[in-house]
């Protein structure tokens, strides 16, 4: 039997072959579509990352110079957010390196000169007693999502004495508003978060829940727990960091408490849930 000039047996054979090919085509189409989706969301993820370039400074090595090493990220794009980040980081470093509070230091070069001159002036007065000064600053992005960016700035300063001083500062930015934000803006109920943080702090430091907070040797003012001035973000969670001398002795070093995002979900705003 013929159908429009095509033998029926041949038509059945062609149809039978067509279905496996169609299924294979649809399966491949699904794979391609899935790969396109992955590429799309990966592209969106990459676009949400702020473009930064590394900046490094080391002073000339000489017998009469303090050792200075500075490393930090600088936003490339000339946007409100980029300018806010660059200004905040530079102001933080300037504050660390400015040797005399009375000096009107406005930029990084002047701050480095201030630190260097402070060392040279002291060495001129006490040429045999002045030890070498040292300043190291290292800043990096500690956390970023599509709404917030957190930068951790670690520093070490030595200007004589028994030992140097190590500190960490966090700079947090609202990417939508393009400005630095107070970490209190992360929390919808700061008081309740503080209570929760105290419970976690006592567990970590092995302080009985019903005992005074300073009962094991801490030095909280008025024997009352409080959040640190430094609150930042990391991939692990919210970082509560007390610098040396803030609530403990120098020998105890920095005291760090990390509260994971799942633990903090009832206390934080949507910025930390995205």
Confidence bin at 31 (pLDDT 50/70/90): very low
Least confident of 237-241, 255-259, 270-274: 270-274
Phi, psi of 67 (to 5 degrees): -85, 120
Give the C-alpha distances (Å, rounded to integers) separating 154 from 15, 25, 28, 35, 257.
Answer: 71, 56, 51, 41, 17
User: What is the fold, at CATH topology level, of the domain defined by 52-181?
Assistant: Heat Shock Protein 90 (3.30.565)
Residue 132 has pLDDT above 60, yes or no: yes
* Helix, strand, coil % over all residues of the chain, rounded to 5: 40, 25, 35
Mean pLDDT computed over every residue of the chain: 84
230 forms beta bridges with: 241
Please give the backbone phi and psi of residue 24, each rounded to the nearest 5 degrees, phi first. Answer: -65, -40
> What SS3 state is found at 100?
coil
Yes or no: say if 269 and 184 are a contact pair by the CB < 8 Å rule.
no
The per-residue pLDDT for range 62-76, each reduced to its tens digit, is: 778 899 999 999 999
At residue 253, does pLDDT exceed 50?
yes
Is the confidence at residue 15, as pLDDT, over 80? no
CA-closest candidate to residue 65, choices 127, 164, 132: 132
Which residue did the predictor score with more confidence, 265 or 63?
265
pLDDT above 70 covers what percent of the chain? Answer: 81
**Quick check: pTM over 0.75?**
yes
Bridge partners, residue 148, by sequence:
174
Provide the CATH topology of domain 185-272.
Actin; Chain A, domain 4 (3.90.640)
């Amino acid at each position: 039997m013929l159908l429009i000039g095509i033998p029926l047996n041949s038509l059945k054979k062609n149809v039978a072959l067509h279905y496996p090919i169609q299924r294979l085509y649809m399966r491949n189409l699904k794979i391609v579509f899935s790969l396109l989706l992955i590429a799309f969301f990966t592209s969106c993820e990459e676009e949400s990352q702020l473009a930064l370039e590394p900046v490094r400074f080391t002073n000339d090595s000489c017998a009469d110079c303090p050792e200075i090493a500075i490393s930090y990220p600088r936003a490339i794009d000339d946007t409100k957010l980029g300018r806010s980040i660059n200004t905040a980081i530079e102001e933080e470093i300037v504050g660390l390196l400015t040797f005399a509070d009375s000096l009107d230091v406005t930029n990084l070069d002047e701050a480095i000169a201030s630190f260097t001159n402070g060392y040279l002036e002291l060495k001129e007065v006490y040429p045999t007693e002045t030890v070498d000064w040292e300043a190291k600053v290292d800043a990096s992005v500690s956390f970023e999502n599509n709404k917030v960016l957190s930068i951790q700035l670690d520093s070490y300063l030595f200007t004589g004495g028994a030992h140097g001083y190590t500190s960490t500062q966090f700079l947090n930015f609202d990417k939508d508003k393009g400005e630095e934000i107070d970490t209190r803006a992360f929390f919808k109920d700061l008081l309740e978060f503080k209570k929760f943080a105290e419970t976690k702090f006592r567990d970590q430091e092995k302080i009985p829940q019903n005992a005074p907070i300073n009962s094991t040797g801490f030095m909280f003012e008025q024997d009352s727990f409080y959040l640190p001035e430094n609150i930042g973000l990391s991939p692990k969670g919210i970082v509560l960091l007390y610098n040396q001398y803030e609530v403990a002795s120098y020998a105890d070093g920095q005291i760090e408490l990390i509260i994971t995002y799942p633990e903090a979900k009832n206390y934080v705003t949507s910025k930390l849930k995205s």
